[in-house]
Structure 1
Amino acid sequence: MSRSTKSYLQIHPDDNVLVALINLHKGAQIQLNGTTFELLTGVSAKHKFTINALQPGDSIYMYGVLVGKATQTITQGSAITTQNMQHAANEYRMGERKLIWRRPNVSQWANRSFMGYHRADGSVGTANYWVVIPLVFCENRNVDVLKDALQDKLGYKKPGYYEADVDLLVKLYQSGLSADDILNTPLPSVESTEEVSNKIFPNIDGIKFLTHDMGCGGTRLDSDALCGLLAGYITHPNVAGATVLSLGCQHAQASILKQEVLKRDPAFSKPLIILEQQKEGTEQQLLQKAIVKTFAGLIEANNNERRPAPLSKLCIGLECGGSDGFSGISANPALGHVSDMLVALGGSVILAEFPELCGVEQELSDRCTHEASANRFMELMRIYNKRAEESGSGFYANPSPGNIRDGLITDAMKSAGAAKKGGNSPVTDVLDYPEKVTKPGLNLLCTPGNDVESTTAEVAAGANIVLFTTGLGTPTGNPVAPVIKLSTNTNIFNRMPDIIDINCGTIVEGTETIEQNAERIMNEIIAVAGGLSKPKSVLLGQDDFIPWKRGVSL
């Protein structure tokens, strides 16, 4: 990556466009490789402009890969837009294994550890949760009843920051104020998001209630995948035990769930309570039994305490949401360096969001340690894109309006930047949803680009921490795995400090290198993994959970 000035950037020497790092005005002088040319249009920060004139059909390169084609003549020094460029990506095929990589120096981290919860299967949790799960949407209400009964009494209810606002508005209304008066009444700011805890079980971080809209009425493939996903949460290192409510007649049967649990952990020994309403009788009998058994399970789970664990026990999920034109040059490369460090330390990393790997298939497949894995990755990509096209929307339709507005014009452009989260290490395994990570190193996991669906799947695959980059601001979390948010630019970090933990905009500004930023991220990972620091997503209770229906979701 070579920077010509602090105003614009050529990411790769083969690129024929530059990235504006600040708003550039028409007429600005651009100097690159000993030549000077003038901007013929204004270019907003995060957007791109041409180094040379392009004709219709000419290829446009970023990150050294094809990201689109010109649809009309584009003069030198002009901004590229959705009007003069369209998505294009290179074809891919089986190539030679390219397994030599720049292994980072991790000597300063080799003897570091974190305080985690050790499980019987050898995994280590960064948290200790109990989960309550419905096997079918018919049980969502009963799960909500259990939440009302257990969460507050056991000390896990989040502070009601906005209840005081409602109290104030009620008083104003009762005092006779009009709607206009109330609209002009300023509300007090929330001073803190710190948790106030009176937990009965000090070693249990919380009880999480994972409702969903699946389990019956869809395809058997979806219900079987749901059982696999839920089994991933039940066997997850951050989960101490689980209560599962089943109606009894649905597609997602308890027997299938048990098979999926044993598939992931043949010697499974955590407390697991499965109750079927149609067998238990009345709702009261079901819920009272669930409360008693859950309380007894919590007593057992509370006996587990944090103990030192090596960093090789970390499994990190890599995610991006609300991406912008800086994602691929700041936060995502920083995560790529963190990924390489963790792989070098013997840990596991998950790169997902397959619609956002369009255009970099050749590089990633060549990095697979075995041809069988490379074939599986390419086949999963082809099948996924084919299904999307059959529904009238291929990978080319992935960028959201917000992505496009902030400089990500095509899916290939977005993907080339998103793939930077995976660093340079070899790909040790390729997984289909909802499979679980079994090998250290970089794992590719087939998920949608949808932030919550993908994060939900990464955690089911074993991620005990998720690193989530955002350029526009995304309030996503997970019920059982801490999600650390990283901004791609300083502006969004300053504007939304309540949801973002780490600023990577310093890389764009030149005040910090990718390696320095990655070291800050690594220190935060260790603090969060050991319970010494809580990300904003945890403090705010952002417990997003959406299973993927295997239809088209980009």
Structure 2
Amino acid sequence: MLLRVHPADDLIVALHDLPAGKTAVLEGQPWTLKEPIQAKHKFAARDFVAGDLATMYGVTVGRATQNISAGALVHTHNLKHEAAAFSGKKQHMAWSAPDVSRWKNRTFQGYKRHHGPAGTANHWLVIPLVFCENRNLAFMREALTRALGYAQSSPYERYAQRLADGYRNGQDLTSLASLELDALASPLPLFPNVSGIKFLEHGLGCGGTRQDAIALCNLLAGYIASPNVAGATILSLGCQHAQVSLLQESLSTLYPHYNKPLHIFEQQKSNSERDMMARAIRTTFEGVALANEQSREPCPLSDLIVGVECGGSDGFSGISANPAIGHTADLLAALGGAPVLSEFPELCGVEQSLCDRCVTPELADRFVHLMRTYEGAAQACGSGFDANPSPGNIRDGLITDAIKSAGAAKKGGTSSVVDVLDYGEPIRKHGGLTLYCTPGNDVESTTALAGAGCNLMLFSTGLGTPTGNPICPTLKISTNSTLMKRMSDILDFDTGAIISGEQSVEQMGESLLELCIATASGTYIPKAVALGQDDFLPWKRGVSL
């Protein structure tokens, strides 16, 4: 019924709705509740005087703006964001790795690459260097996905067609209301060893700063070099800031061993649009046919590069789904894999513990620099990390950014931090956690993680979200069973048993690792993949929380 997440906490979490006047007891301590406390929300474990600091997850998460009585609801009307100061590596935090002997000889069925980790998928990409080519991209998408069997038959289109056919044949609106949606229809591709052709439509490439163009080219280079990609077709207009030469420079600098097929078509150098499109479609077809010659084979679990993400978070996120993901991350790190934690605005308040987990003082200093630079940019625009929680977050108990951050950081587990990277840099280190600078915006962050080299993603949600990625299989992890039952069509894994006490965080993390292996092997298809949820949103390096 109640939970104190850390022994030092003076905020108590309600695991179920609690009525006003109820005497709630935890660890032998009683509180008479001054008002109703909804599940996921917090009440004061002690009397607060205005100005007192509040603690949750063992860290400072807010400051009381008025007196708060023990047993009273703690919310935005009486608590504001406050986070502890941080200043680089202060102490060494030794990591006690979990026992992974049962997975020591396990493999996944992946796509081996000439250089670097294996892929969990085998995609071909079509990428515009500038938004001017989006129309041609759309033509290629319509032509190739249908002809090659990758176009998914939408149940909504079929439903609308059945409604139209029925009405045309004289059925009244009342009888049409009884029609139900069909199930998803699985495509039958011409090239079964190619996971799909993905089209990375975006609105950048020109009109911004030169730095914007470089950041875009670094990101696109990461997608082209991804272990989940077999080759790519590039569409360029010719006069834009994001020049072909910039993309080639990004590839040669960041991925010096790149040797996959890369076909570039520049419209202003072509005889005509029709000529360019015919050549692009034909060359892409040939590339996909060659990529189909590769099939899945056993690959070590150390090849898994797993981005951990949260979106549509609730008051249970930091208690169930995120800690379970964190344990999976620790298991992967112990197996030589590479868990990656992003969303820097959602690490506000836990910076010191992350600094102390860094394997060198230099890494801690880089993390401090990236965090302070990001926060400074937000403040220069009249905002700050404190503005990160969304209305949905606040409504479901995440009332300050520090509370949200302390729970969000649980996705990163407890392993040593072996690298700290800025946006657009490739992931290199395995056997520990990488901190990766991205916004808290879900899709900007998942877009960056896939571009950094992640070949799998774990995404927790307490409110529900359909988010996916074009090239990186994304597993959606529910924080509670009520949500899982209601949105099972877009969610993959339920950690609600942690809230009910039926399973431990460790048990859930182990089960999630098994699902990761099945997904990486292609034997489990995440809902976001099955639904074609291909979210792609480059970060323009402005202020995005």
Q: Where on the TM-score scale, by shorter chain, does this alignment land: which range?
A: over 0.9
Residue number among 236, 243, 246 corresponding to 2:226 in the alignment: 236
Whole-Å Cα distance in 1 between the matches of residues 121 and 27 of structure 2?
Answer: 51
Indicate if the aligned counterparts of 2:88 and 2:365 stay in contact, CA closer than 8 A: yes
Residue number among 445, 459, 478 corresponding to 1:454 in the alignment: 445
> Which amino acid is the alignment partner of residue 507 of structure 1?
I
Whole-Å Cα distance in 2 between the matches of residues 129 and 50 of structure 1?
Answer: 51
**Deviation of the 1:148 alpha carbon:** 1.0
Whole-Å Cα distance in 1 between the matches of residues 175 and 443 of structure 2?
Answer: 36
- 2:77 corresponding residue in structure 1: 83
Residue number among 162, 168, 181 corresponding to 2:156 in the alignment: 162
5+ long unaligned stretches in structure 1:
1-6
- 1:253 corresponding residue in structure 2: 243
**Deviation of the 1:175 alpha carbon:** 5.4
> Which amino acid is the alignment partner of residue 303 of structure 1?
E
Indicate if the aligned counterparts of 2:310 and 2:442 stay in contact, CA closer than 8 A: yes
Whole-Å Cα distance in 2 between the matches of residues 191 and 333 of structure 1?
Answer: 36
Q: Work out whether 1:110 is the aligned partner of 2:104.
A: yes
- 1:224 corresponding residue in structure 2: 214
Indicate if the aligned counterparts of 1:235 and 1:264 stay in contact, CA closer than 8 A: no
Whole-Å Cα distance in 2 between the matches of residues 294 and 168 of structure 1?
Answer: 35
> Which 10-residue stretch deviates more, 293-302 or 205-214?
293-302
> Which amino acid is the alignment partner of residue 73 of structure 1?
N
Deviations along 1:195-246, one digit per CA (max 9) or x if unpaired, are: 131x221210100011000000011111100000000000000000000000
Q: Work out whether 1:489 is the aligned partner of 2:483.
A: no
**Deviation of the 1:176 alpha carbon:** 6.8
**Deviation of the 1:84 alpha carbon:** 0.5
- 1:27 corresponding residue in structure 2: 21
Any idea what SS the aligned residue of 2:434 has?
strand
TM-aligned CA distance change 1:478 to 1:354, over 3 Å? same
> Which amino acid is the alignment partner of residue 338 of structure 1?
T
- 1:70 corresponding residue in structure 2: 64
Whole-Å Cα distance in 2 between the matches of residues 523 and 439 of structure 1?
Answer: 23
Residue number among 356, 375, 385 corresponding to 1:366 in the alignment: 356
- RMSD of the TM alignment (CA)? 1.3
**What's the TM-score, normalizing by structure 2?**
0.98
Whole-Å Cα distance in 1 between the matches of residues 367 and 208 of structure 2?
Answer: 27
Deviations along 1:364-392, one digit per CA (max 9) or x if unpaired, are: 01111111111111111111111111111
> Which amino acid is the alignment partner of residue 443 of structure 1?
T
Indicate if the aligned counterparts of 2:3 and 2:26 stay in contact, CA closer than 8 A: no
Whole-Å Cα distance in 1 between the matches of residues 217 and 26 of structure 2?
Answer: 55
Q: How does 1:491-510 map to 2 (within 5 A)?
A: 491-510=482-501
- 1:206 corresponding residue in structure 2: 196
- 1:263 corresponding residue in structure 2: 253
> Which 10-residue stretch deviates more, 126-135 or 27-36?
27-36
Indicate if the aligned counterparts of 1:139 and 1:246 stay in contact, CA closer than 8 A: yes
Residue number among 122, 125, 135 corresponding to 2:119 in the alignment: 125
Deviations along 1:45-82, one digit per CA (max 9) or x if unpaired, are: 00000111101000110000000010001111001011
Deviations along 1:442-495, one digit per CA (max 9) or x if unpaired, are: 100000000000000001111100000000001000000100000001111000
Any idea what SS the aligned residue of 1:152 has?
helix
Deviations along 1:261-300, one digit per CA (max 9) or x if unpaired, are: 1223212211100110000131101100101111121122
**What's the TM-score, normalizing by structure 1?**
0.96
Deviations along 1:477-522, one digit per CA (max 9) or x if unpaired, are: 0000100000001111000000000001110011111111111111
**Deviation of the 1:413 alpha carbon:** 0.3
Any idea what SS the aligned residue of 1:337 has?
helix
Equivalenced residues, count: 544
Q: Work out whether 1:96 is the aligned partner of 2:86.
A: no
**Deviation of the 1:121 alpha carbon:** 0.7
Any idea what SS the aligned residue of 1:162 has?
helix
Whole-Å Cα distance in 2 between the matches of residues 266 and 95 of structure 1?
Answer: 32
> Which amino acid is the alignment partner of residue 156 of structure 2?
Y
Whole-Å Cα distance in 2 between the matches of residues 454 and 10 of structure 1?
Answer: 30
Any idea what SS the aligned residue of 2:108 has?
strand
> Which amino acid is the alignment partner of residue 518 of structure 2?
A
Indicate if the aligned counterparts of 1:68 and 1:89 stay in contact, CA closer than 8 A: yes
Q: Work out whether 1:349 is the aligned partner of 2:334.
A: no
Q: Where has structure 1 moved over 6 Å in runs of 4 or more?
A: none
Indicate if the aligned counterparts of 1:317 and 1:466 stay in contact, CA closer than 8 A: yes
Whole-Å Cα distance in 1 between the matches of residues 222 and 178 of structure 2?
Answer: 43
Q: How does 1:388-399 map to 2 (within 5 A)?
A: 388-399=378-389
TM-aligned CA distance change 1:183 to 1:12, over 3 Å? farther
Q: Percent identity?
A: 54
- 2:187 corresponding residue in structure 1: 196
**Deviation of the 1:34 alpha carbon:** 3.1
Residue number among 264, 272, 290 corresponding to 2:280 in the alignment: 290
TM-aligned CA distance change 1:99 to 1:76, over 3 Å? closer
Residue number among 417, 429, 447 corresponding to 1:439 in the alignment: 429
Indicate if the aligned counterparts of 2:100 and 2:334 stay in contact, CA closer than 8 A: yes
Any idea what SS the aligned residue of 2:268 has?
helix
- 1:524 corresponding residue in structure 2: 515
Any idea what SS the aligned residue of 1:192 has?
coil
Deviations along 1:163-218, one digit per CA (max 9) or x if unpaired, are: 222223323554577xxx64884253334335131x22121010001100000001
Any idea what SS the aligned residue of 1:375 has?
helix
- 1:3 corresponding residue in structure 2: none
